[in-house]
Amino acid sequence: WRHWGTTGATGRPDFPVHDWALTQQRSLLARLLDPVVLSRLRDAELRALPGEPTMGIPEVFETLTLSVWAELGIRAGGKQGHARSTRSVRRDVQRLHLNALISLLVEPPAGTPEDARSVARATLVELDHGLAHALEEDGADLDAYTQAHVADSRERIARALEAQMIQSTTSIR
């Protein structure tokens, strides 16, 4: 910690709260969505005895998505809750999550199971439906930051899904 009024490595006289939070969030998401972790989850499902409970890639993606996007009314099973304005730190983690899903879909890191790519696509489609509902049903109740964030997120999802479809048709040939 630095004394108020002194500048640290960033040249700022205050503590960079958003930068610190983003670093923590990025690290956690990277660990959860690491190709080795996703592969191990997939392998664990195969090794499990019949009827033995396991956690697979779909459960990890769903739990993560529901947690990260909770303020926007995203609920399990396609149900929608009431969306509310989202604070800046939460919007940042939502962007990180969205970037990670898009990366898994469009340009997955080496070693990423193909099932993770498919589930990332399905997750993005579901997320888009939830975000559309948040704008349509509760858009007037959302602050300008949240409205812009949701609209931007939807546009990015659309572009990623389109890019993925183009990539798939070209790679089949």
Q: What is the pLDDT of residues 8-56, one digit of tens each?
A: 565 667 888 888 888 999 999 999 999 999 999 999 999 999 989 999 9
What is the reported pTM? 0.84
> 101-105 — which CB contacts under 8 Å span 24+ positions?
101/61, 101/127, 101/160, 102/156, 102/157, 102/160, 104/33, 105/160, 105/161, 105/164
Q: Residues 65, 123: contact at Cβ < 8 Å?
A: yes
**125 vs 173, more confident:** 125
Q: What is the pLDDT of residues 78-136, one digit of tens each?
A: 778 889 999 999 999 999 999 999 999 999 999 999 999 999 999 999 999 999 999 99
The pLDDT score that the predictor gives to residue 40 is 96
